Amino acid sequence: MPPRSAAEAKGSGSGSGSATAKLRRAHRKSRNGCWECKRRHIKCDESRPACSNCVVSERSCSFPPSAAATAPTPAAPQTPASAPTPSPVPSHSQPPLPSSQNATGIDSQAQSPADSMSSATGLHHPTTSGPPSSLFGTRFGFPTVLDDRPPPLTTLPSFTESFAAKAFADLPSTPSISEGVPQPIFTAKHLTLLHHATTAMPLTNDLVRPVVDIAIEWCQDAPYAIDQLLAIAADHLAILQPEQAASHRRTARELQTRALTLFNNHAQEMSQENGDFDKYCLPRFLFAALLSLHMIYETYAYYRANFHVFIERFVESVHLHRGVRTIISPNYNIILESPLKPFIVNIRLASESENGGSECVSLLELVQNSDLSPATVNAIAQAVHTLQWAFNVHRNLPQDGSVHASTAFPVLLTAEFMEAVRKHRPEALLVLAYYGVLLHRCRNAWIIGDGGSFLIRLIADYLGSFWQEPMRWPLEELERDQGSTDAESHDMFLKVQSGAGSGAGSLDKLAQLNS
């Protein structure tokens, strides 16, 4: 019997053995659940303003745009919707480790929100490209930074790249952004954080009020600024209230996640619509500055496992800090007429003062006489000049505002210098050790803490005995400031002298190769 055709096989037959296959009705399910339930792949009861799942788990709950506003799509096999934001509950208890990633390419277990946004765009291994525009310029009194090359475009803009409108000009719209982002919802806990930021979170006496006022003024049109302010307040409360530290830190990560998402989405929308970026320069600058402070705190608080973990994180954070530059230079006059004017003017006057120091004189001489390539010598020497500028500003600012000199230094570093740091060039690491002295002088600031002493000891232990002479001053500064009872600093000093540093052998070989 000849075989039947495909059409006959499909349409013929009778009885129970050859009944025509019945088409299954497409499964209907709601797609109006909150973003957090979508990310966790659990059923959402769609309660407003926060669903029960998010209330029970103390998560930030926000919903996508109403389904009524979008046209229905034909029934077709669809992949599960993925959340457009990074995980709001990354772990800071241990350094980020390689692990499996979700559909968006973001590790939801070992990264902070800022890490997630950067790793999705290649920020984890930054290139030598700098931000789109040069820093502040001489009007601020900051040293000149010749690092104005545009960054490479990526499929999803990183935080640093999103400062430049042109970074989004030719980008295709991505579903995770074009479908909408979590809309800001402020709870009673957020109001508590705002009160804490206003009354109890130390920045400087003359800066807290303007920062809070700007964040509140723009909370509707640019909510990312107040979200980032509240995120910092939550981390500060985690220090003051250790019994509730886990809850506060979770809130901080959720707020930072939302702030980053809203900021990047707003920048893309403005770019696609040829919007007026100047109009939003103030909240954008405030967001960038606050995120920079938050990154400094996280870097020194949570990335101490070993030398390599810290340096990798430091390189990434500096790449992020440089995003602050791209918004200042073209909008200097606007920002100067804002409530932040006293802060900017004070830094400029401090940098112009003739009361300078000589902390980096010997370090500059060492770098200039090194056997590194001329380009590398120039990059490291420029970082040394910048560090001396920061020391001078710290010396001339009022005590309650001197911490801003230490937080400004990473913003000013060039990509070429950070490449030398990433390659563990000893001369570049010495610059960081000297920077540790500046951090140590700001140790009373909660975002710094013991970060300076940690950085000095970390690098001293890595460099070993070959570099004991240039490391002498930073270690002596620890002893002088902390007193002779600080046995740990003294032991480290003796350890370097005896050549017991963990990286002495490899660094000695590197020095021989450079000679």
What does the pLDDT read at residue 33?
Answer: 87
pLDDT-based confidence at residue 16 (cuts at 50, 70, 90) = very low
**Peptide bond preceding 172 in cis form (omega within 30 of 0):** no
Of 1-5, 184-188, 212-216, least confident by mean pLDDT is 1-5
Three-state DSSP at 303 gives: coil
Supply the pLDDT for residue 37: 84
Inter-residue contact 259 to 138 (CB < 8 Å): no
Confidence grade of residue 75 (pLDDT, cut at 50, 70, 90): very low
Which position has the higher pLDDT, 27 or 512? 27
Query: Mean pLDDT in the chain?
Result: 72
> For position 185, what pLDDT does the model report?
83
* Average pLDDT, integer, range 468-485: 82
Whole-number pLDDT of residue 314: 95
What global pTM score does this model have? 0.63
- Secondary structure element (H or E) that encloses residue 493, with its range: helix 487-498
Type of residue found at 296: I
Residue 130: closest CA among 111, 152, 148: 148
The reply to whether CATH 4.10.240 applies to domain 35-69 is yes
Q: How far apart are CA 80 and CA 126, in angstroms?
A: 32
Question: How confident is the model at residue 13, as a pLDDT?
Answer: 44
Tokens of 24: 């299954």
Cβ-proximal residues to 134 (8 Å cutoff; 6+ apart), any chain: 144, 145, 146, 147, 148, 325, 329
What's the rounded Cα separation, in Å, for the pair 421 and 126?
Answer: 12
pLDDT in tens, 234-280: 999 999 999 999 999 999 999 999 999 999 888 888 887 777 778 88
Do the beta carbons of residue 371 and residue 515 sit within 8 Å? yes
CA quadruple 250, 252, 254, 259: dihedral, nearest 10: -170
Per-domain residue ranges for the chain? 35-69, 127-332, 355-514
Return d(Cα 175, Cα 11) in angstroms, integer: 41
Q: Over the stretch 449-470, which tens digit does the pLDDT of each residue have?
A: 999 999 999 999 999 999 999 9
pLDDT at 257: 92
As a whole number of angstroms, the distance between CA 129 and CA 144 comes to 17
Mean pLDDT on 72-91? 39
Give yes or no for a contact between 161 and 155, defined as CB atoms under 8 angstroms apart.
no
> HSE on the CB side for 292, CA within 13 Å?
23
Q: Region 162-182: what's the mean pLDDT?
A: 38
Q: Is 141 left (phi over 0), alpha (psi -120 to 50) or beta?
A: left
pLDDT surpasses 60 at 191? yes
Of 67 and 343, the one with more pLDDT: 343
Across 406-419, average pLDDT: 92
Per-residue pLDDT tens digits for 287-334? 988 998 899 999 999 999 999 999 999 999 998 877 666 666 677 778
Range name among 132-136, 215-219, 231-235, 370-374 with the lowest pLDDT average: 132-136
The Cα-based distances of 450 to 301, 314, 430, 481 in angstroms read: 9, 16, 18, 12
373-385 tens-digit pLDDT = 999 999 999 999 9
